[in-house]
Amino acid sequence: MLKGNETRIGKILSIEWLGQTLASLCWIISVFVYEIEGPGDWLQLGAASFWMMSNISAIFSIKQHG
The residue range of the domain holding 49 is 8-59
Q: Is residue 3 part of a domain?
A: no
Q: Is residue 65 part of a domain?
A: no
Q: How many domains does the chain have?
A: 1
Residue 4 — pLDDT band, cuts 50, 70, 90?
Answer: low
C-alpha 21, offset from chain centre: 4
Task: Note the pTM of the prediction, 2 decimals.
Answer: 0.81
**Residue 30 pLDDT > 80, yes or no?**
yes
Q: Is 55 exposed, middle or buried (0-12, 13-18, 19+ CB in 10 A)?
A: buried
Q: Is residue 1 part of a domain?
A: no
Q: Is residue 25 part of a domain?
A: yes
Q: Is residue 2 part of a domain?
A: no
Q: Is residue 66 part of a domain?
A: no
**Residue 66 pLDDT > 90, yes or no?**
no
pLDDT tens readout for residues 41-59: 999 999 999 999 999 999 9
